[in-house]
Amino acid sequence: MDDSKIPSALLGGRIRRAPENFLDGAAIGEVSKGRRDVLRASFAAAIAGIAAATRPAAAASDGDPDILELPPWSTSLGLPVAAVPYGMPSKYERNLIRRQSPGLTQVAGSSVAFAPLQGSFGIITPSGLHFERHHQGWQDIDPKRHRFMINGSAPGMVKTPLVFTMDDLMRLPSVSRMYFIECGANTGMEWGNVAVPTVQYTHGMLSCSEFTGVPLRLLLEMAGADLKRGKFVLAEGADGSSMTRTIPIDLVMSGEVLVAYGQNGEMLRPENGYPLRLVVPGVQGVSWVKWLRRVELGDKPYAAKDEAVHYVDLMPDGTHRQYTSIQECKSVITTPSGGQTLVDKGFFNVSGLAWSGRGKIRKVDVSFDGGKSWQEAKLQAPVQSKCLTRFTLNWNWNGERAILQSRATDETGFVQPNYRQLRAVRGTRSIYHNNAIQSWLVEPSGEISNVQVA
């Protein structure tokens, strides 16, 4: 259905948000109303021009006090800017926060907080909502005391080992680029068909930021790296988790790998690696080493603990697949999604995210009948390489059972698999790299839940 053909009779569609979006019982009524109002407002904007002649008159005849009476914010003095030297979201948005999964063991010092994808617009994740994964707690490092070293694994591998202060790094030529980051374990619980309730928990180890930093290639060149012998780099973090990861030198020489200090126009947040992290576009999150303090050039992969024991894929024949870095093409519908309720039938603008570690998204198809038939969604600009892409499709829900799915194709022609196709290659005992098609079941009651469709 194209935007210009939305009949005004379909204006009823509304979504009630997932219960775990709310802070506590007392907040439910208040926040729920707020979210519905936002939806109504954005819907009204989308159809402006079509229903403009009818909607205002209908609202006024309801005797809506929010139209007929002046609210306090129109009749009082507002707060000075000095009241909020660093701006925070509205108190009405306090339900939209990172959350830890109740289904995952809460080990002190080892944790993951999921991004609330169900409430996101566009493609950029606000820094305060960026998902967060650490193996031994996060640190707020004094940038004056932080050092970044480049060295070689053997004499002559780099001509001049270098140590940079933050000031040294920040005077060098920098680039700013938008990239997604996804933990290799994202959607991991679905391997066991755990069916966690919302998209925050199924896909929330995913975020997208504009990162600013210096290409690692430039720093290696400054150190006089021997690129004939050097085939891999080892990146090392300054936190207590001894996080080290091997990155192939070809990726570094592509110029995409950044030693980054900026995130969405300001310095990185402490949880996301302040003051320095590695940005490895398209590659699983564990390789984006945070609190980055050292890069070593070597001639073979390092088989560090987080690539030999963890972050390996158990294949059906019992072998382990190692160094499976690239995050393959994937997508998910974020609105409407699990835990939400369609309050009545009618029009909905279905919206979601697609991404590929191999480049740009070429197209996204959406199904409302569990994969029997597909319609091509609209891709919102910009569509960038190794970045999230927002897709949308208009839908007229007839009030019957429906299964919503999205299926992305990237510029290499790779098509996101369904569970049958994925399990045929990968078996059933993996934890990592689940890029299967996600299904949301819509019941006639409007309630939406997480189901798996082969």
Q: Does 288 bind ligand MTE (CB under 6 A)?
A: yes
H or E element: which one contains 222? helix 216-222
List all residues 6 or more positions away from 115 whose beta carbon is below 8 Å from its beta carbon. Answer: 98, 125, 129, 130, 131, 200, 204, 205, 206, 207
Query: At its nearest, how many Å lie between ligand MTE and the CB of residue 273?
Result: 6
Residues 193-212 that bind ligand MTE (CB under 6 A): 207
Rounded to whole angstroms, what are the CA distances from 114 to 70, 125, 270, 336? 40, 12, 16, 18
Residues 124-163 that bind ligand MTE (CB under 6 A): 130-135
Q: Which is nearer to ligand MTE, 150 or 402 (CB)?
A: 150
Query: Burial code of 282-320, b = ≥16 C-beta within 10 A, e = fewer?
Result: bbbbbbbbbbbbbbbbbeebbebebbeeebbbbeeeeee
| 388 touches 355 (CB < 8 A) | yes
List all residues 6 or more positions away from 138 whose beta carbon is below 8 Å from its beta carbon. Answer: 132, 239, 270, 271, 290
Query: At its nearest, how many Å lie between ligand MTE and the CB of residue 77?
Result: 40
Structure tokens at 50: 């079509």
What CA–CA distance (Å, rounded) separates 100 from 81?
33
What are the percentages of helix, strand and coil residues in the chain, rounded to 5?
25, 30, 45
Q: Does 407 bind ligand MTE (CB under 6 A)?
A: no
Q: Contact with ligand MTE (CB under 6 A): which of 211, 261, 291, 302? A: 291
- DSSP symbol at 128: G
Query: At its nearest, how many Å lie between ligand MTE and the CB of residue 137?
Result: 9
- DSSP symbol at 137: -
Q: Contact with ligand MTE (CB under 6 A): which of 34, 152, 281, 285? A: 285
Q: Which is nearer to ligand MTE, 169 or 286 (CB)?
A: 286
Query: At its nearest, how many Å lie between ligand MTE and the CB of residue 200?
Result: 14
Q: Which is nearer to ligand MTE, 133 or 330 (CB)?
A: 133
Q: Does 324 bind ligand MTE (CB under 6 A)?
A: no
Structure tokens at 286: 């564990």
Q: Which is nearer to ligand MTE, 217 or 245 (CB)?
A: 245
**Coil, strand or helix at 204:** coil
Q: Contact with ligand MTE (CB under 6 A): which of 243, 252, 361, 422? A: 243
Q: Contact with ligand MTE (CB under 6 A): which of 272, 334, 351, 405? A: 272
Q: Does 189 bind ligand MTE (CB under 6 A)?
A: no
Q: Contact with ligand MTE (CB under 6 A): which of 119, 230, 237, 339? A: 237
Q: Does 183 bind ligand MTE (CB under 6 A)?
A: yes
Query: At its nearest, how many Å lie between ligand MTE and the CB of residue 133?
Result: 4
Residues making contact with ligand MTE (CB under 6 A): 130-135, 181, 183, 207, 237, 239, 241, 243, 272, 285-286, 288-291
